[in-house]
């Protein structure tokens, strides 16, 4: 079938030759893909990879899948076929996919050395995102959503009401990343929040915070295009490049108590955002890291947490409940459909996905949020 696939380090291109997925386990579902967004981690695989993908000439350590494999893990689509034990969805249903794989998927991969092994501690305790075997559909475990079809077990399938357009549904995955983060931060309705960075994850964090009833949201961002983007979502924007070392003090002063924010979310992952995420909090405030950091450490003073009993944590990935809750929040209007649409800055066919998707994002990072690709199964591109 047609797909935009990862062939080897530094080589991602369109192909007609990815094998069409088949149902091999009774609980699997085949989806005709509608839309699939390009994620920062897709670009990372190209620029700094392989990270999640198998090394050239190797198979995936978990599923034993071999390259080439279609990329793409932020997908929506329509169910095209279901295995005999599938109860969650039926053919024709609109769905999104929880792209994380975990112990719950080992039974699908008879060639895996972990086939049918006992679930790890994290999975046993319901933290599948922290699974020892964590991986992602479209990032090497199995072929992903920049393709005509995808096969996943029903455990990872979330039905989407037909009132939610399928392009908006493709945003459920990045929204689930930030929904998970805001949830594990312990966010309480009516609290204030500072978002550091207005890239795709920062903007998704804003949508979730609006959806969870934040009393005040300030986003700190220096890039003009992103500042505009954040303003369109109706939040207050602070540009630290205009205030230098006074930024933290000014940020704290923007809150009702003038003492800082209840919660902060680092969606940038650089030393200055790390420091701000802690110091712009009020006492007992919580700083949550959502950014992916490199190995270089940042200087940290334990008393910056201790003296005001602040809390620091970090969030990684999501669980299937996050998807269900995001779908519900979009459906009931807590997350505004119009806000979601603001995040879609481009739509392309998978045939053009490399040049007009990946390349465009690498060349014009700041003027884009989400570019969605489609195999055009249902005339998505008209």
Query: Cα separations (Å) of 254 from 235, 273, 281, 286, 288?
Result: 13, 17, 11, 17, 20
Identity of the residue, 127 or 377, whose beta carbon is nearer to a copy of itself in the bound complex: 127
- Cβ 358 vs Cβ 42: under 8 Å: yes
Maximum Cα–Cα distance across the chain: 62
Query: Cα separations (Å) of 322 from 63, 148, 362?
Result: 24, 26, 29
At its nearest, how many Å lie between a copy of itself and the CB of residue 310? 7
Q: Which residue matches tokens 């599938």? A: 86
Q: Tell me: is residue 108 an annotated ligand-binding position.
A: no
Q: Tell me: is residue 59 an annotated ligand-binding position.
A: no
Q: Tell me: is residue 351 an annotated ligand-binding position.
A: no
Q: Tell me: is residue 73 an annotated ligand-binding position.
A: yes
Identity of the residue, 21 or 260, whose beta carbon is nearer to a copy of itself in the bound complex: 260
Which residues contribute to the site for a copy of itself (CB under 8 A)?
Answer: 121-122, 127, 129-130, 184, 257, 259, 266, 269, 274, 282-284, 289, 291-293, 295, 297-303, 305-316
Q: Tell me: is residue 131 an annotated ligand-binding position.
A: yes
**Interstrand relation of 149-153 and 135-136 (parallel, antiparallel or unpaired):** unpaired
Identity of the residue, 303 or 338, whose beta carbon is nearer to a copy of itself in the bound complex: 303
Identity of the residue, 45 or 93, whose beta carbon is nearer to a copy of itself in the bound complex: 45
What is d(CA 176, CA 169) in angstroms, rounded to the nearest whole number?
Answer: 11
Q: Tell me: is residue 39 an annotated ligand-binding position.
A: yes
Identity of the residue, 6 or 274, whose beta carbon is nearer to a copy of itself in the bound complex: 274
At its nearest, how many Å lie between a copy of itself and the CB of residue 36? 25
- Cβ 357 vs Cβ 347: under 8 Å: no
Q: Smallest Cα–Cα separation from 352: which of 330, 333, 374?
A: 374
* φ/ψ (deg, to 5) at 24: -115, -15
- Cβ 61 vs Cβ 140: under 8 Å: no
At its nearest, how many Å lie between a copy of itself and the CB of residue 100? 14
Omega before 221 within 30 of 0, i.e. cis: no
At its nearest, how many Å lie between a copy of itself and the CB of residue 179? 14
Identity of the residue, 205 or 289, whose beta carbon is nearer to a copy of itself in the bound complex: 289
At its nearest, how many Å lie between a copy of itself and the CB of residue 296? 8
At its nearest, how many Å lie between a copy of itself and the CB of residue 375? 33
3-state secondary structure at position 148: coil
Q: Which positions make up the binding site for Zn(2+)?
A: 39, 73, 103, 120, 123, 131, 173
Q: Which positions make up the binding site?
A: 39, 73, 103, 120, 123, 131, 173
């Amino acid at each position: 079938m047609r797909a935009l696939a990862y062939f080897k380090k530094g080589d991602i291109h369109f192909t007609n030759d990815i094998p069409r997925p088949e149902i091999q386990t009774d609980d699997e579902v085949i989806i005709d893909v509608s839309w699939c967004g390009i994620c920062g981690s897709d670009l990372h695989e190209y620029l700094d990879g392989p990270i999640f993908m198998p090394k050239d000439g190797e198979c995936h350590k978990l599923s034993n899948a071999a390259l080439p494999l279609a990329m793409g893990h932020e997908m929506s689509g329509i169910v095209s076929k279901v295995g005999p034990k599938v109860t969650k969805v039926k053919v024709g249903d609109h769905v999104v996919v929880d792209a994380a794989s975990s112990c719950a998927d080992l039974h699908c991969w008879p060639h895996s050395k972990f086939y049918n092994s006992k679930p790890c501690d994290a999975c046993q305790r319901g933290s599948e995102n922290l699974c020892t075997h964590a991986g992602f559909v479209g990032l090497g475990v199995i072929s992903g959503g920049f393709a005509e079809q995808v096969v996943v077990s029903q455990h990872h399938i979330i039905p989407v009401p037909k009132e939610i357009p399928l392009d908006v549904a493709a945003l459920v995955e990045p929204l689930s990343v930030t929904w998970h983060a805001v949830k594990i931060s312990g966010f309480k309705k009516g609290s204030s929040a500072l978002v550091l960075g207005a890239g795709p994850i920062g903007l998704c964090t804003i949508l979730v915070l609006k959806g969870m009833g934040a009393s005040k949201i300030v986003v700190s961002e220096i890039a003009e295009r992103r500042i505009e983007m954040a303003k369109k979502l109706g939040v207050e924007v602070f540009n630290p490049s205009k205030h230098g070392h006074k930024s933290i003090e000014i940020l704290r002063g923007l809150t009702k108590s003038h003492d800082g924010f209840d919660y902060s979310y680092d969606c940038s992952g650089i030393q200055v955002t790390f420091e701000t995420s802690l110091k712009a909090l009020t006492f007992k405030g919580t700083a949550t890291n959502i950014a992916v950091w490199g190995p270089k450490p940042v200087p940290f003073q334990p008393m910056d947490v201790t003296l005001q009993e602040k809390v620091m944590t970090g969030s990684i990935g999501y669980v299937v409940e996050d998807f269900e809750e995001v779908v519900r929040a979009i459906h009931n209007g807590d997350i505004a459909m119009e806000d979601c649409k603001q995040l879609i800055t481009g739509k392309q066919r998978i045939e053009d996905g490399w040049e007009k998707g990946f390349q465009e994002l690498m060349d014009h990072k700041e003027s884009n949020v989400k570019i969605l690709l489609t195999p055009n199964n249902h005339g998505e591109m008209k």
